[in-house]
Amino acid sequence: MKQRNCRLMSLLISCLFYFFVQASPGRAKDQVDLYVTTQDKKQDLKSIRIDARVQKDVVTTIVLDPKIRFQQMDGFGAAITGSTCYNLMQMLKKDRQRFLNETFNPQKGFGHSYIRISIGCSDFSLSEYTCCDEEGLEHFALQNEELHYVLPVLKEILKINPDIKILGSPWTSPRWMKVNNLVDLLPFNSWTSGQLNPRYYTDYAKYFVKWIRAFEENGVKIHAITPQNEPLNRKNSASLFMGWMEQRDFVKSLGAEIASAGLHTKIYAFDHNYNYDNMKDQQGYPLHIYADSLASKYLAGAAYHNYGGKRDELLRIHDARPDKGLLFTETSIGTWNKGQDFALRLIEDMEEVGLGTVNNWCSGVMVWNLMLDSDRGPWREGGCKTCYGAVDIDRKNYKSISRNSHYYVISHLSAVVKPGATRIGTKAVAADGLIHAGFQNSDGTMALVLLNKTTMEKIVTISDQRTQFTYTVPPKSVVSYRWD
């Protein structure tokens, strides 16, 4: 009798373990959650739950292999710029909360999990400023844009998703730290271009520490930073040129100050285009910095944009230094790439921005402005007048929202691939025109994000070591799957 009771107790414990750990709330083991978006929007991020049933004689198959493991994922999201925050704060609170919950809630929404903000102004800020425009670090202070727009929005987001990661990037140093070049070292009192005076490397590093601490004092933890947004771009409305040799030397000061302050903020180098703006002496930018052992020890990896060059560069950099991580931190849609042509952009952006970066070792993927208004703003002279947001809000009422391709790309990924997930191996058979990436989440659930580029529906059987199911993928569509 005693042995029988022990067996019954063991069985009960096993059942409880499955119920609480293995099975996701509301979804049985033999069910699959899907999100479907078609090019014509007849299915518009449609949430579906299906039974895991297999259709016979299906030729096209995708098999996930969790034994083959690649990078661990940090998350997906968009930039919360000053312009984005201004637009959000013009909304009625209930409307803003509805949109933020849809976007960031990891249980009831799409669970966007990584966002980028500027350190000081960006080209989508309400004015030009840094947090120390008067000479001397004793004058450091957060400014109106942070206090009245950025921080209030970030606090609302953190209430919805406390685990969201935040990356900060400066567009320019304080002007009093700038010189015209590193030979003449003449003062350069301009928001645009100039270079960082080497005599201020330590002061500028301390500026970063002050900024990180100021945000933490407001309840906002900074997960990572880059030393300079687009360091090879002199022409942005706020900008600073920083070649790889300068960044190598500055990173030594920056890393030392962050370590000395007891902070654990990660540093990612570069933060610019795949083609290094076609500058011969800047090719392979982060690799040169990694070659310096002192600078390298402070770097978690490198960050990239896609305004020039090809994403193959991500794989080249990874293969050269597989011990360093990769982030994709900026891309935009706009008038130049038919940014509001949803039928065109959904397919191209999912291939290039979503799956293309992840399948080339990026652990985080971020697009540019989360929200701009219907006039593509607010923007400033010298900044981008032709950009669209991931979503655009009607300036007439600050209520009506148009969701563009980038919102769908990020949402399809973040809905099924959670922070801490690992990209895993896949094997596809007879899958022409299908692009995909497979993942295993930290809770054991499996995920697949699939793009059908073709004009034909595709009947696909998807499986891992335990589960199989067949699904008919609509033509010109994106489908995200998650199952136990």
CATH code of the domain in which 202 resides? 3.20.20.80
Q: Cβ distance 61 to 463 under 8 Å?
A: yes
Rounded to whole angstroms, the Cα distance separating 140 from 211 reads: 8
CATH number at residue 43: 2.60.40.1180
Q: State the residue for tokens 């899958």.
A: 431
- Which of 152, 70, 163, 72 is CA-nearest to residue 113? 163
Tell me if 8 is assigned to some domain. Answer: no
Domains: count for the chain:
2
User: Residue 341: what are its φ and ψ, rounded to 5°?
Assistant: -85, 90
Domain boundary among 401, 416, 431: 416
**Hey, which bits of 9-55 come out as E strands?**
31-38, 46-51
CA atoms within 13 A of residue 155's CA, in its CB half-sphere: 13
Provide the pLDDT for residue 12.
43
What pLDDT, on a 0 to 100 scale, did the predictor assign at position 133?
A: 98
159 and 267 share a domain? Answer: yes
Give me the pLDDT at residue 27, please: 59
Per the structure, the complete domain to which residue 437 belongs is given by 31-71+423-483
Residues 6+ apart with CB under 8 A from 245: 288
Predicted local confidence at residue 158, as pLDDT: 98
Asked if 194 and 81 sit in the same domain, the reply is yes
Query: For residues 207 and 210, what is the distance between their CA atoms, to the nearest angstrom?
Result: 5
Mean pLDDT of the chain: 94
Q: How many CB atoms lie within 10 A of CB 227?
A: 29
Does residue 227 share a domain with residue 259? yes
- Enter the pTM of the model: 0.93
Query: Strands 60-72, 458-463: parallel, antiparallel or unpaired by DSSP?
Result: parallel
pLDDT for 66 equals: 97
* 4 within a domain of the structure (yes/no): no
58 lies in the same domain as 132? no
CB contact at 8 A, 123 and 83: no
Residues of the chain whose pLDDT is less than 50?
Answer: 1-25
SS (H, E, C) 213-248: HHHHHCCCCCCEECCCCCCCCCCCCCCCECCHHHHH
The candidate with the shortest Cα–Cα distance to 328, out of 306, 345, 307, is 306
pLDDT at 26 (0 to 100): 57
DSSP 46-59: EEEEEE----TT--
Cβ neighbours, 10 Å, residue 434: 17
73 phi and psi angles, rounded to 5 deg: -90, 135
- Residue 138 makes CB contacts below 8 A (sequence gap 6+) with none
Of 371, 396, 416, which residue is a domain's last? 416
Q: How many whole angstroms separate alpha carbon 182 and alpha carbon 194?
A: 10
pLDDT of amino acid 351? 98
- Do residue 332 and residue 466 come from a single domain? no
Q: Are residues 473 and 368 in the same domain?
A: no
